Amino acid sequence: MYKVLIADDEVNICMLIKKLMNWEVLQLEVIDIVHNAVDAFACIKKQQPDIVISDIRMPGYDGLVLIQKSLELPKRPEFIIISGYKYFEYAHRALSMGVEHYLLKPIDKEELEKSLKRIVEKIESFKQKEFVEKQLKEEIYTRRKTMKKHFLTSIIKYDGQAVDELKEEYQNNFNSGCFQAIFAKVDFPIQGIGELNGLLPMIEAVIDGILKTSGYEYINNTMKSGIVSVINFDISEKKHVEEMYNRFQDQLMYEMNKFHLFSITIGVGETVSSISSVKTTVNGAIEAVKCRIKKGVNRIIYNEQLAYNKVYIRDILNESEKLKIENFMEIMDFSALHTFMEEKIILLRQTPFYSPVSVFDFFETIEHQIVKALIKINADEKLIERIQQQFEAAMDMCLKEESLNRKCQSIISDCIDQLIQDKKNKSQLPVRIAKQYIQENYKKQLMLEDVAEATNLSPAYLSTIFKKELGISFTDYMISCRIEMAKELLKTTDESIAVIAEQVGYVDYRYFSKIFLKVVGLKPSVYRKLFM
């Protein structure tokens, strides 16, 4: 029997939960009922329940704190969080802490029972792996799962060679018949990215649970913000498989509705007859999901049913026009590049019923040319990596064609701004080094040649860029540094003017006095009297 703790500040709710279930049939036992989080945590530490059914809001501290504190214990229970309202923020944070079950009041008996059964299955599965031929089974399971994921990942990365290498090994795991890929893609607001790592295992668990009972051979793998599955079935069962996809969508939509602004779209690739063609159906599923920018989210999109007209990028951007993109980047002219891109987008849209996939192909080509240009001009590697990540995120998260266009244009604009700033900083670096050298050595008899040597520049070039960046000559800047320090010494010390002149780099104090009068408008002695 597995131990259950019920925690809710409403006594009636606790009693209702206890009466709803036939605990013994579920192999469960309610060991305690508490009405605040402090008592709940004390019970968790002392009695080590396997499952905690907890309200999200309780006296003492809320359910999230209870979960966090429980994570720090040697043995952590599985949680079922319940709430009277859709506390989206609480739900998101619970997900990020590994909680897979979130139920709304009034509590539905079937939903609670389903969650309890899933947890019991999870616990029993863990114990079985741990205690029944653990080492051998874990080694076999891990090796097979790793190879399966490598197989599917290789296909997703368009590595055709991997299919040939692994086909023979995996042929024994698949039946004759056909193969079809699906891509269950999660879309979410930018602030929800932290919850994605908690959400994807839940999505895979839903898909995995339905596929396990179907009897079909399959492979699952995580891809960015979704789950890719390849399913092997007999063509005569295609209608049954499509009904199974509807169950995927219904169950995943039910889970998504618990979280604010999250959506799910399932793309279904073409049916193929050979494992060697799995890459085709995986690509088809991914392309079907891309079409959500026209068809919308929270639906199943079958690639085979799409009737869009494909626009070939070579007809929009020829090789000379691709070079134009690189040239615009090299001269850092965003205005010209923006106009060029808008003209090409208009050209693409002139094709009747154009495919949304062509829109993604267009921006992927733009990204490729921009990265080529950045490499050519020796741009910072971190900038190049950031641009690639930003383009990838834009094409993964944007739900409308126009928002994708705006986002990509913004990425390019920011990139060019950074290039301009980097160029400016690079040109200013010798001047900054020269200024620092003067400030550290103004007491010496400095010459322009001394500073030029310190900056690895010719005296003539240093003099030119010094004047350009600061608006004053090298000599005037050095005089300014010396006079500013002299003013400070005149105000704060009793040293003679001759000594101060020597301390700031002037051997002849009369010459110093003359320069001081010219710059400040007062003789050094008069200036000192102002502060006595």
Torsion on CA atoms 213, 218, 220, 226, rounded to nearest 10: -80
Q: Specify the pairing of strand 178-187 against strand 78-83.
A: unpaired
Across the range 75-98, mean pLDDT stands at 80
**pLDDT the model gives residue 100:** 84
Superfamily of domain 2-131: Response regulator (3.40.50.2300)
Across the range 217-232, mean pLDDT stands at 88
Domain ranges of the chain: 2-131, 138-305, 313-422, 429-529
Superfamily of domain 138-305: Reverse transcriptase/Diguanylate cyclase domain (3.30.70.270)
Cβ neighbours of 494 (radius 10 Å) = 8
Give the helix/strand (H/E) hosting 4. Answer: strand 2-7
**Order of strands, sheet of 28-34, starting from the edge strand that comes earlier in the sequence:** 28-34, 2-7, 51-55, 78-83, 101-104
Quote the distance between the C-alpha of residue 188 and its chain's center: 12
**pLDDT the model gives residue 171:** 46
Across the range 460-467, mean pLDDT stands at 86
Candidate ranges 59-73, 83-97, 481-495; pick with highest mean pLDDT: 481-495
pLDDT in tens, 256-271: 888 777 899 999 999 9
How confident is the prediction for the chain on average, in pLDDT?
Answer: 87
Candidate ranges 210-224, 249-263, 276-290; pick with highest mean pLDDT: 276-290
pLDDT in tens, 412-444: 999 999 998 888 777 677 888 888 888 888 888
Superfamily of domain 429-529: Homeodomain-like (1.10.10.60)
pLDDT in tens, 301-325: 999 999 999 999 999 999 999 999 9
Threshold 0.85, pTM exceeds? no
Residues whose CB falls within 8 Å of the CB of residue 373, separated by 6 or more in sequence, listed in order:
325, 326, 327, 329, 330
Largest alpha-carbon pair distance within the chain? 107
